[in-house]
Structure 1
Amino acid sequence: MSDLAQARLNMVESQVRPSDVTDVRIHDAMRAIPREGFVPAGKAYLAYADDAVEYAPGRVLLKPRDVAKLLQILKPAEGETALAIAAPYAAAVLEALGLTVTRYDEGDLKSPPGANYDLIICEGAVARAPASWTGALGLGGRLGVIEREGPVGKACLYVRAEDGIGRRTVFDATPPVLPGFEPEAGFAF
């Protein structure tokens, strides 16, 4: 077994499984997908660290624990459609689980392509999920995103129901905020 394959196995066994990620489909996909392929050349050693890893200026792969937990709360199902916003690794995991994934990683990221997605995931933090993202969900659709206005963010699950959008927080996480999604400065005494 190569060093990177061993690192992948260790990532699942030491960062993902102990974090209450019980969906074995996610374990299997994360064990199989070479995460080092999503980071710049020369940074493969960072791919399996317990940290967010920059893959492009201002864009990161979430910590393995955080992306696994976010994927699990979204309850992906084979045959569903997904939108992966600044989330190339999450997109690969979703594809391995049998979803049809649209990757959205260019431009300002505020105007998603298409609509009626069953699932939307973002690997960067935002101050608050834009209405354009929740508006791209189909009925029963789920959005997983980390909202962060201070030192600690909250992973949030949004669900579109017939009577509107529901939101709940699920766990704490600290990824960097995506450029263009920073909290607005407010007036304070």
Structure 2
Amino acid sequence: MDWEKARYLLVEQQIRPWNVLDAKVLNRILHTRREDFVPADKKELAFVDVELPLGNGQLMLAPKVEARLLQEIALQETDKVLIVGAGTAYLAALAAGLCAEVVVIQADTKQAELANGALKAAGIKNVSIEVGVTLTSKQCPFDAIIAAASFEATPDELVKQLAPEGRLITVLGNEPIMHATVAQLAAEANAKLVTRQVFDYNLARWKNADSVFAF
């Protein structure tokens, strides 16, 4: 397969039509080898517009959704970022080129080992992975949090880890319609959380290590 052509077509035929137009995000996708982050037996499906099963009940998000999450959270070069769920670490690999530091919470030990291996092979050094089912990282606070799972309402555990003016993106609601939602804290003490819906997408719940995740 011509991987570079496939990557170009991924951007032009799947990601741009899904309203991902941020040049930094698109450039990062064009320079990150997604095929190296999918399971070996599914490498030929690396650029297909589907969620890929990873084993242990986990899923890898479709490329357009990963790209849209990154665009809507608007990462800055100085940001310290938390990603809830590593999956194959492709989302973390993309984020790593857009910010200063990425911390990932991954529920499955084996998947965390595979993710670390893929990141090392790609030469990405600003991502660390914590294994556990908690939503709380030892390395908080964070300027941005990407929660690649759904919740009925915005989890307090994530909000408490935001730095002043920090942003959080996650999927909220119940089937059949859920909404990817960006929430941001104001700078002042006891600041209110301001939220806005950015796109519709159904995603599995974050529950525990035995749950189905979509990362």
TM-score with structure 2 setting the length:
0.76
1:123-164 CA-to-partner distances (Å, cap 9, x unmatched) read 233333321111101011111111242123210101111322
Where does residue 206 of structure 2 map in the other structure?
178
Where does residue 104 of structure 2 map in the other structure?
103
Separation of aligned partners in 1, 2:3 and 2:39: 15
Contact 1:62–1:124 under 8 Å retained in 2: no
Shift of 1:5: 2.5
Match of 2:169 among 130, 141, 144: 144
Rate the CA distance shift 1:74–1:134 in 2: closer, same or farther, 3 A: same
Letter in 2 for 1:60: L
What secondary structure does 1:42 align onto?
helix
TM-score with structure 1 setting the length:
0.85
Rate the CA distance shift 1:115–1:180 in 2: closer, same or farther, 3 A: same
- 2:120 is the counterpart of 1:120: no
Where does residue 192 of structure 2 map in the other structure?
164
What secondary structure does 1:79 align onto?
coil
Separation of aligned partners in 1, 2:34 and 2:173: 25
Any gaps of 5 or more consecutive residues in structure 2? 107-130
Rate the CA distance shift 1:97–1:55 in 2: closer, same or farther, 3 A: same
Where does residue 185 of structure 1 map in the other structure?
none
What secondary structure does 2:93 align onto?
helix
Letter in 1 for 2:160: G
What secondary structure does 2:41 align onto?
coil
1:50-99 CA-to-partner distances (Å, cap 9, x unmatched) read 12223342332222121211111111111211011114222111111243
Where does residue 61 of structure 1 map in the other structure?
60
Where does residue 94 of structure 2 map in the other structure?
93
Separation of aligned partners in 1, 2:44 and 2:27: 21
Contact 1:90–1:121 under 8 Å retained in 2: no
CA-atom RMSD, angstroms?
2.1
What secondary structure does 2:174 align onto?
coil
Where does residue 179 of structure 2 map in the other structure?
154
- 2:39 is the counterpart of 1:40: yes
What is the aligned residue count? 181
Deviation above 4 Å: which 4+ runs of structure 1?
A: none
Separation of aligned partners in 2, 1:82 and 1:149: 26
Rate the CA distance shift 1:78–1:56 in 2: closer, same or farther, 3 A: farther
Any gaps of 5 or more consecutive residues in structure 1? 183-189
Bigger shift: residues 25-34 or 57-66: 57-66
Rate the CA distance shift 1:160–1:118 in 2: closer, same or farther, 3 A: same
Match of 2:157 among 129, 132, 135: 132
Separation of aligned partners in 2, 1:85 and 1:158: 15
Contact 2:171–2:179 under 8 Å retained in 1: yes
